[in-house]
Structure formats: structure tokens, C-alpha cells
Structure 1
Amino acid sequence: MGKKITVAVPKGGVGKTTTAVNLAAAFAIAEKKTLLIDFDPSGACSVSLGFDTEKLKGDIFQVISFIKHIDSVIHHTDLQMLDFIPCSINSAEVEERISRLTRNIHLFENILNQYALEHYDYIIIDCPPYLKGLTTVALAASDSVLIPIRAGQFSISALKKMYSHICLVKENLNKRLVVEGILLTMFEKNTKAWGLTQNALYSNFGSDMLDTVIPKSTTISEAEFYGKPTMLFNVKSPGSVAYLKLANELMNKNGQNYPGTF
């Protein structure tokens, strides 16, 4: 049975989509069959993986609307063990589909349970940078949530909002939901922002802080420009090494291991 991990935080500019794409790629490199689902109508995952958004053969909303079967919208990537389901960026249709989905909060979960769980080791769901609507639907369907955050003035308030929403989802929709971990992204150790937020982060959320941190890296940005996960752009770059370590940390946390080394 596959594990469903939602990547979510109510704040933009923290590397949420970057983390979803590169964690999924890292799991695939670690020989775990992985499905990445873009649940953000901006469609950024498609661009990050090098897909032409005008030539996609279907999206997750068409599955939820029973227009297409999930099989028909799965896109294969440059990594043999990584599949991808995109999200529509047609704003004229998105609002109606979101409305339909939120009226049946467990529809997405049921679709994943019927098909994807038996085919994949990990299902990574990238969400929009807000908590209502699609993010709530994803959390209701998931086993855990990974929260990427960048050290800074608003990181603590964003995390508090995230945890409050997780509690609501647990109480009303999904009792099994847990925090997979808090991931520091775009990390620069010797900065004022880190110095000011370090104590607050660890005193409030210490038990959920992951050991792995993702450094600020121009290579990650360059890889996105060329439509590749950072490991396929430069596997030896600090960003690539960090995301591979993240995958290894989460696999160890879930009682799995990779036969190779990162």
C-alpha cells in the first residue's frame, strides 16, 4: 500500500512545488515507484518537469469530474519510477471543478484508494499556497503532510495556521493525518533571518523539525528553468544531495531503506 504525502503550507515563495517535484524524483531514484499529483491550478509542477502545458493529455480535475479515467491522465517522466498527473490551468473550468470537489470532500481520496495505492510506494500531492478548498481535500485524502518553510518573519505564523488547520482536518475529516515533518528550505545558516527564527521554530515545533535542510541554491532554480528535477540537472549539487537525503530520512522514518547510499 502506498503512502500519500501532501506538501502544503499557507505561504508562497517557500519552495513548496520545488520540494514536491524533487522529493518525488528522489523517491524514484531510490527505486520507489512514485506518483506526483499537481493539485495547484497554477500548474507549476508541469513546467518544473518539462511538460508543454498545451500538450497535456488530461489532468486531475478531469478524473475527479469523471471525464477521464486516472489511467489516461498519467504522464511518464524522464525517471522510470516517477509518474505525474498534472493540474489544469484553465481558470474558466477550475472554479466549477473545485466547487464540485469540495462538495464531496472524500471523492479524491476514494479515487486514489481505488487505483493509485496498489500501484505506487509514494504519492506526493502538491497543493496551492492556501488552506481551504483543494488543500483541505488533499489533507483529507492523505496519510501525512510535509510542511516546507523558509526562515523569516512570517514563518512562525504560517506554521501556526497550518497546524491549526491540520487539527481541524483531523477532528472532522481524517483522523489518521499526521505531520511528516517541517522542512527548512532556501536555508542560509549565517543570516539574521535564521538567527531570529531559529529559537522560535525549535521551541514551538522542535519534535517535527526534520534533520535535512534544503540550502539556497542557484542550481535548483536553473534546473526548474530547464524543466528538470535538480538531480537530473546536476546530481552532485548541494540541492540535489539535500533532496536525496530528505527522501532517505523519510524512508527511514517510515521503516524503509534504500540499498544504495546518498
Structure 2
Amino acid sequence: MQVVSISSLKGGVGKTSVTTGLASAALAAGISTLVVDLDPHADASTALGVRPGEQLDIGRMLKAPRRARLADNVVPSGWVEHGPAGSPGSSNGAAAPVLDVAVGSAYTGIYDRPDLGRRDLRRLSSVLAGAGQYELVLIDCPPSLNGLTRMAWSASDKVTLVAEPGLFSVAGTERTLRAIQLFRQEFAPGLSPAGIVANRVRSGSSEHSFRLSEMQSMFGELLLSPHIPEQANWQQIQGAAHSVHHWPGDSAKNAAALFDALLENLLQTAAPGDAAGLVRNRSRR
């Protein structure tokens, strides 16, 4: 099982879109996947088409993590209903694809503060101790470095950062890499940055072209490929609670192929060395 946090220090860069795009690729590949919606806004839960019943949301599971029975409280994504009945390429031999959700809620906000101690930081790890049936766990983090994100990092093997090719987002990504290195030293020596996803890239923008070159210079092998272009109909896809792999049209088909490649690169990423050493001095305009 690989546990990957999807993080960004800056809001509005499409972190949840990348999470759901990777979940869509995992579903299409037959990879048994759990999405943990740790953002109090719970946008990933909405986009994944969950229909919660009596199950506990992730916030209430975190309240009593040792008593939380993850298997009893996850909710199947509505995407599974829109896909094929089975996945012949499934890596775990299952008769049908698995995409479950630990449903988000505003309740998790009580943990999104900067003063969580070590015991609180282990809450999500305790909940995910019951996630052994999944090959992949994707954690959609809130856009901050407060308690929920650090709780996610404590439970993760890797952190994937999402950035737009813009000045403030690139600067925030550099700061987040340094924060990951400090967090590793104190709390999670096994954690590694899995890479950086350049999202919402506009091919005709000279500013985006410049920032992409800057990101390549700064982050080197941490900058994952392919980059994800701005998707005009992404809001429509998410609003309909559909997987991008099951949405009609060439635009969605092309986006699905990009997320397939991105997921493959992400899962094959070897744990790099010191994250701080991979962050180069940023050139100034």
C-alpha cells in the first residue's frame, strides 16, 4: 500500500482536481484505491459522487481513531457505477474496480490548527491502519501547513505538491518543500516528496512558459511530467460527479491520458534524497 498526500500551501491551484484526476486514473487501471478527503470543504467527496449514509466521516473517525473501523465507514465512489462492471487489467485480480472515500466534513476543522502534538499527529495513521485492502491511498489535504496537513504527512509515504506556473504558487512550493524537510527531520523520517505537478498550464501564456522553465531549473527531477493543462470543462465534469475517464469528448479523453501517465510516474517515483538539496536557488527576473 502506498499512501500519498496531495498538498499545496496556496489555495486555488487545483489540488482537489489533481487528486480526483489521479483517482480516476487509478480506477481505470483497476488499482484498489481509497481517497481520504481531509479538506474541511469536502470538495473531493462531492466530486467523487459519494452518497453517505450512517457511516462516520473522516473527522469523526479522527476523534476516536483507535475505535474507528475504517472498512465500515468508507463510502463507494459514485464513479464506479458509471464505469465498466469489471476491470480486466486490475492489479489485484478483483472482479470489479474499487474506489472508496473516507468522506470529508467541516468537523475536521477542529484539528486544522498549528499546535497539534505528536499524539494528535498520529490520529490519521491509526485510522489508516485498517486500510490494508487498498493498493493506493490518496489524501486530499487542505491548502495550509496546519494540523490536518501535518497529520496527513505523518501517515504518508510520499507528498505530491500541486502548483500553478505563477510567481506566488512557485514560491509557495519552494517553501513547502523546505517545510517537508523540517517535518521529516522531526516527525517522519520515512516521508519523501514524490514530485510536483504543474497544473492549469496555459500553453499560449508566455508567463506560464517562463515559470515552467523556472520550475524546471529550481526543482529538477521533482517536477513531474506530464503537465496538466487548463481544462475548460473541468468544472462541468466535477459538478456532474463523473470521472474524467468516463466523460465524453476528445478534451476529456486527452486529460484522462495525461492523468494515466502522471499516475504511472508518481507511483514509480523513487524516494529522492534531501528535499532541501533538490531546491535550487530561484532565478530572479
TM-score range, shorter chain: 0.7 to 0.9
The equivalent of 1:239 in structure 2 is 255
What displacement does 1:123 show?
Answer: 0.3
Which whole-Å CA distance do the structure 1 matches of 2:146 and 2:249 have between them? 36
The equivalent of 2:100 in structure 1 is 83
What displacement does 1:56 show?
Answer: 6.6
Which whole-Å CA distance do the structure 1 matches of 2:125 and 2:2 have between them? 12
Q: Counterpart amino acid of 1:249?
A: N
Correspondence for 1:166 among 180, 184, 190: 180
The equivalent of 1:25 in structure 2 is 24
- DSSP-derived class of the 1:234 partner: coil
Which whole-Å CA distance do the structure 2 matches of 1:213 and 1:84 have between them? 26
Q: Among the aligned pairs, what percent are the same residue?
A: 23
What displacement does 1:97 show?
Answer: 4.9
CA-to-aligned-CA distance 1:158-214 (integer Å, 9 cap, x gap): 111111110111011101111111111111223122133133211110120112111
The equivalent of 1:110 in structure 2 is 126
Does residue 177 (structure 1) correspond to residue 191 (structure 2)? The answer is: yes
**Structure 2 portions without partners, runs of 5+:** 81-96, 271-285
CA-to-aligned-CA distance 1:38-91 (integer Å, 9 cap, x gap): 0000010111112357x57321111121274212220012323211111112xx
Which whole-Å CA distance do the structure 2 matches of 1:106 and 1:17 have between them? 23
What displacement does 1:129 show?
Answer: 0.5
| Contact 1:37–1:84 (CA under 8 A) maintained in structure 2 | yes
What displacement does 1:235 show?
Answer: 7.2
* Equivalent runs, 1:4-15 vs 2, <5 Å: 4-15=3-14
Which whole-Å CA distance do the structure 1 matches of 2:269 and 2:68 have between them? 35
- DSSP-derived class of the 1:214 partner: coil
Which whole-Å CA distance do the structure 1 matches of 2:108 and 2:222 have between them? 34
The equivalent of 2:48 in structure 1 is 49
The equivalent of 2:87 in structure 1 is none
| Contact 1:235–1:241 (CA under 8 A) maintained in structure 2 | no
Q: Counterpart amino acid of 1:41?
A: P
The equivalent of 1:250 in structure 2 is 266
| Contact 1:35–1:124 (CA under 8 A) maintained in structure 2 | yes
**Structure 1 portions without partners, runs of 5+:** 255-262
Q: Counterpart amino acid of 2:36?
A: I
Does residue 63 (structure 1) correspond to residue 79 (structure 2)? The answer is: no
More deviation, 208-217/187-196: 187-196
Q: Counterpart amino acid of 1:84?
A: V
What displacement does 1:98 show?
Answer: 4.8
More strand by share: 1
More deviation, 220-229/190-199: 190-199
Q: Counterpart amino acid of 1:25?
A: S
The equivalent of 1:258 in structure 2 is none
Query: Structure 1 residues 208, 61: CA separation in 2 closer, same or farther (over 3 Å shift)?
Result: same
CA-to-aligned-CA distance 1:120-160 (integer Å, 9 cap, x gap): 11000000000111001101111001111111121221111
Q: Counterpart amino acid of 1:204?
A: M
Query: Structure 1 residues 94, 61: CA separation in 2 closer, same or farther (over 3 Å shift)?
Result: closer
| Contact 1:219–1:230 (CA under 8 A) maintained in structure 2 | no
The equivalent of 2:274 in structure 1 is none
Q: TM-score, normalised by structure 1?
A: 0.86
| Contact 2:112–2:146 (CA under 8 A) maintained in structure 1 | no
RMSD, aligned CA? 2.1
What displacement does 1:219 show?
Answer: 2.8
Return structure 1 stretches of 4+ with deviation > 3 angstroms: 93-99, 251-254
CA-to-aligned-CA distance 1:19-39 (integer Å, 9 cap, x gap): 111202211211111100000
- DSSP-derived class of the 1:23 partner: helix
